[in-house]
Structure 1
Amino acid sequence: MNGHPALPDQRSDVVIVGGGAAGLCLAAQLTATTTRSVTVVEPPDGPSRSPERTWCFWEEGPSAYEEAISATWSRLRVRGTDGSELTVDPAPQRYRMLRSPQFEQLVHARLAAHPGARVLRATASAVRDTADGAAVSCVASDGRPLTLRARHVFDSRPLHVLPPARTCLVQHFRGWFVRTGAERFDATVADLMDFRVPQPRHGLAFGYVLPLAHDRALVEYTEFSRSPLTTTAYEAALGHYCREVLRLGAFTVEAAEQGAIPMTDARFPRRIGSAVFRIGTAGGATRPATGYTFAAAQRQSRAIAAALDAGRPLVPPPHRRRALAMDAVLLRALDTGRIHGPDFFTGLFGRIPAERLLRFLDGATTLREEWGVGLRTPIGPMLRTAVELPFLPRHFRPAQRSAESAS
């Protein structure tokens, strides 16, 4: 391979392919609770490495990655298409922002302090079962082929083709890190959904504002629809939102990021071999109705560590079946236009206590609480959708990729 002699095979108890949110969460959990040897395979610097990213999640109490948290908010706001606004306090939950560079630095430091852990810069290709576990074929940063062997391999790399689904939308966005010439933001309130933007013919669109200071914020334009936009279209939408809706006045864009997240009722297989498992978005950790992944990746990591400790080498489902069934109904109702997205989401925040709603979106509510949430949605369209879902065919679709990301 590449004309270079192969490096000797290397062995660990666990190999994690991919050093994104899911891979590093699992590595941190395994090294915090066990003495297993863990190797995280990350691509070398270059185009194959993911650009910097921002993850947000809500959580009660201190975060496991508190030292790397960039900002937190105790209040959340939703704005309707008519300009009406609702500000809620989801206590004891707090909304948190985590940037990938700080997260990686923190987890890498923890791994460096563990005698059996390491981060290997290499490009992984094939992953296969072996007689005593699994093997990962890699190309090291110097171009030499390398085989990593382990009892268990957890693969977090994105899928090229999604599993068959009845509904497949995409949450796609572009965000600007802006600095304004005057104080324009309330640093204690995060705008989760601001629907005062032109709505697309299909799906929904909203602004998303995470203040970092009175004159700094991450401002995003987001759509739930069937396919991403061009970068030029995102830039135009962001410019309109910042200038005409938020009326920021003079501002500068210090960095930008762009992404696309699957919103699908596909069934993601978590086990793809006797000793090979998928985690993260590839393993179904992304919540279909919201696109949030980081909190589920943490839950999945804790569950995997507990299963390995108990001698059960498996990846438990990151979401309960009830949650996935409800999400499938919502996605289909949005996709068919039976419900009006902005009215649906503003109605949820207006009718359901914020703390309960966040637990519902995180899959942590009881059956009785979920029944109460369901009664506060458009019952007719949702029931019609639920009845037809079992009869709809599933189709394969290519996974959408972010067109660009920079910072």
Structure 2
Amino acid sequence: MAGLSLAYYLSQSPLRNRSILILDSELKNRNDRTWCFWEPDGGSATYTSAFDSILFRKWKTVSFHGTTYAGALDMGDYQYKMLRGIDFYAFVRNELNKHPTIEFQQATINRIKDTPQGGFVIADDEPYLADYVFDSTFALKLDQSENHNLLQHFKGWVITAEKPCFNQNQPELMDFRVAQHGDCRFMYILPFDEKTALVEFTLFNDQLLTDAEYEAELLQYIDHFLDTGGYKICETEYGVIPMSDESTEENHAEHIIRIGTSGGFTKPSTGYTFQRTQRYLQAIVKNLAETGKPNRRSSWFAGRFKLYDSIFLNVLEKHRHNADDIFTRVYAENHHRVFTFLDEDTRFIDELRLFATMPFLPFVYAFFDVLRRKAIG
């Protein structure tokens, strides 16, 4: 996703006539994933509006079911959007095929190295040299004790029910009516129509489950809370996303730039990646076109969101407060403010108002623990 998005933005920029090679070990010719994100409605959508024409679904409201609140959330000017992988791949490939200087090659990356002459890549034992290499293959080690390293892992089924049982105008962002077992566990429902939806079981912790355990939770939830009248499973989706505040070096070498999750584009406290990736890549292309350098610029004050993420991960990792209650407070008492906050677009005064709705002592303890761990590290 990151590599194709970058190539797309380059193709729409003054750099469109530069020679670009896209290396990928997969053909990307099947629907292997789904991305969801929120952004402002209409003409104010500035980050991913390029893909509005291929959205599979979009909604003006979302539903939430927590400990003390159940119902719709006011998203303000935001819309919640769903994009299927296969539609994204086909759209971008079609656009890139219009440019003869952009080439695709299916190959496995063997090595990436910075050299005085440029970024050096070996793929399927063939060498390549470029002014810049944009790398989305680097994997975080997730082994530094001063950091917080959780996982967001999920398994979902696209099911077709015999009876209409889904509200097609309102996806279920989080439904905490599942046993928590000391973790953060919830169901996530994306309705395609009244009878078809993606029903997904999601966890935030550091231990993956067996297939049987994921499926048992899905079966139990569908049987207890969805009046399907019987259903069939049409597709299965599984994924693991790092929720880590481990430092990533986006510009770790002169000619190699890490992008996507490997570049730190995943929001550590939520696992959402798509919209942040679009925002960051647009900044990279803008700087590359204007200055010849791809480095993104960021103010020191914007770094406060990394601290917020670390504090939140600390609360989850140390089980300082029940996760279902935390999320209930955040979403039920902040509504559209929480979406702006998670996009890192809030003013500091708005952040203080959001923090006032959180359980005080658990987050204070987490704050000082984060400072201690960073100091020791």
Q: Normalization by structure 1: what TM-score? A: 0.85
Q: Does 1:229 align with 2:213?
A: no
User: Residues 226-265 of structure 1 correspond to what in structure 2 (within 5 A)?
Assistant: 226-265=206-245
Cα separation, 2, equivalents of 1:88 and 1:360: 15
Cα separation, 1, equivalents of 2:103 and 2:54: 20
Distance verdict in 2 for CA 1:85–1:247, change over 3 Å:
same
Contact in 1 for aligned 2:285/2:294 (Cα 8 Å): no
Cα separation, 2, equivalents of 1:321 and 1:261: 22
Cα separation, 2, equivalents of 1:394 and 1:137: 39
Alignment match, 1:360? 341
User: What amino acid does structure 2 have at the position aligned with 1:115?
Assistant: P
Structure 1 unaligned residues grouped into runs of 5+: 1-20, 140-144, 397-407
Which deviations, in whole Å up to 9, do the C-alpha atoms of 1:180-230 show, x marking residues without a partner? 0011111110101000011122x2100000000111001000011112111
Cα separation, 2, equivalents of 1:163 and 1:300: 26
Contact in 2 for aligned 1:57/1:294 (Cα 8 Å): yes
1:248 to partner: Cα distance: 2.6
SS at match of 1:199: coil
1:369 to partner: Cα distance: 0.9
Alpha-carbon RMSD: 2.2
Q: Does 1:332 align with 2:314?
A: yes
Contact in 2 for aligned 1:163/1:268 (Cα 8 Å): no
Alignment match, 2:131? 151
Alignment match, 1:392? 373
User: What amino acid does structure 2 have at the position aligned with 1:186?
Assistant: N
Alignment partner of 2:112 out of 114, 127, 132: 127
Alignment match, 2:39? 59
**Number of matched residues?**
366
Structure 2 unaligned residues grouped into runs of 5+: none
Distance verdict in 2 for CA 1:269–1:22, change over 3 Å:
same
SS at match of 2:291: coil
Alignment partner of 1:374 out of 334, 346, 355: 355
User: Residues 8-407 of structure 1 correspond to what in structure 2 (within 5 A)?
Assistant: 21-34=1-14, 35=16, 36-45=18-27, 52-60=32-40, 61=42, 63-81=49-67, 84-139=69-124, 145-159=125-139, 161-162=141-142, 164=144, 165-201=146-182, 203-311=183-291, 313-316=293-296, 320-352=302-334, 354-392=335-373
Contact in 2 for aligned 1:297/1:318 (Cα 8 Å): no
Cα separation, 2, equivalents of 1:217 and 1:195: 18
User: What amino acid does structure 2 have at the position aligned with 1:101?
Assistant: I
1:123 to partner: Cα distance: 1.3
Cα separation, 2, equivalents of 1:69 and 1:276: 32
Cα separation, 1, equivalents of 2:297 and 2:229: 47
Contact in 2 for aligned 1:296/1:318 (Cα 8 Å): no
Contact in 1 for aligned 2:31/2:84 (Cα 8 Å): no
Contact in 1 for aligned 2:30/2:85 (Cα 8 Å): no
Distance verdict in 2 for CA 1:81–1:240, change over 3 Å:
farther
Cα separation, 1, equivalents of 2:263 and 2:362: 30
Contact in 1 for aligned 2:163/2:227 (Cα 8 Å): no
Distance verdict in 2 for CA 1:147–1:51, change over 3 Å:
farther
1:67 to partner: Cα distance: 2.4
Cα separation, 1, equivalents of 2:376 and 2:283: 30
Cα separation, 1, equivalents of 2:113 and 2:161: 51
Contact in 1 for aligned 2:138/2:258 (Cα 8 Å): no
1:378 to partner: Cα distance: 1.0
Q: Normalization by structure 2: what TM-score? A: 0.92
Contact in 1 for aligned 2:30/2:86 (Cα 8 Å): no
User: What amino acid does structure 1 have at the position aligned with 2:151?
Assistant: V
Cα separation, 2, equivalents of 1:40 and 1:163: 31
Cα separation, 1, equivalents of 2:292 and 2:361: 43
Cα separation, 1, equivalents of 2:287 and 2:37: 24
User: What amino acid does structure 1 have at the position aligned with 2:245?
Assistant: D
* 91-100 vs 384-393, which moves further: 384-393
Distance verdict in 2 for CA 1:239–1:344, change over 3 Å:
same
1:131 to partner: Cα distance: 2.6
Cα separation, 2, equivalents of 1:341 and 1:318: 31
Cα separation, 2, equivalents of 1:153 and 1:92: 37
1:317 to partner: Cα distance: 7.2
Contact in 1 for aligned 2:56/2:84 (Cα 8 Å): yes
Identity %: 32
Contact in 2 for aligned 1:300/1:318 (Cα 8 Å): no
Distance verdict in 2 for CA 1:238–1:276, change over 3 Å:
same
User: What amino acid does structure 1 have at the position aligned with 2:133?
Assistant: V
SS at match of 2:75: coil
Contact in 1 for aligned 2:140/2:262 (Cα 8 Å): no
1:81 to partner: Cα distance: 4.0
SS at match of 1:91: coil
User: What amino acid does structure 2 have at the position aligned with 1:155?
Assistant: D
